Amino acid sequence: GAVVSQHPSWVICKSGTSVKIECRSLDFQATTMFWYRQFPKQSLMLMATSNEGSKATYEQGVEKDKFLINHASLTLSTLTVTSAHPEDSSFYICSARVGRDVGRRTEAFFGQGTRLTVV
């Protein structure tokens, strides 16, 4: 099946620094990728939709200036957590769908996730 690769798998950073997470579609082109965040014992919460060549669409309550998304190519989207704080510590997961057609029934493929710890 389609493969989505996410890097890094885990990162520990100091409060106030920025962290970049990469999400790559390895064997297909993804015009749209999605970024999720998951806190312990909670479900995945959609943060934003990353659109190739245009601005990301953020969900209500997600600060676009804090979570910078860049989708520069059809195979790469990046999420940068700027000025990270301990409350940003979470499991961040990206996903992409195969297929460009709206309405096509295809499942989402997920990256391996990035466990971010801000100390």
For another protein, give the closer residue by CB, 82 or 91: 91
Task: Indicate the pairing of strand 90-97 with strand 57-58.
Answer: unpaired
* 2 touches 15 (CB < 8 A): no
- Applying CB under 8 A, which of residues 7, 20, 66, 115 lies at the interface with another protein? 115
60 lines the binding site for another protein (CB under 8 A):
no
Binding mask 71-110 for another protein (x = CB under 8 A): --------------------x-x-x-x----xxxx-xxxx
- Of the candidates 82, 74, 89, the residue with the CA atom closest to the CA atom of residue 4: 74
- Applying CB under 8 A, which of residues 49, 70, 80, 89 lies at the interface with another protein? 49
Conformational region of residue 61, where left means phi above 0, alpha means psi within -120 to 50, and beta covers everything else: left
**Contact residues for another protein, defined by CB under 8 A:** 32, 34, 36, 42-46, 49, 57, 91, 93, 95, 97, 102-105, 107-113, 115
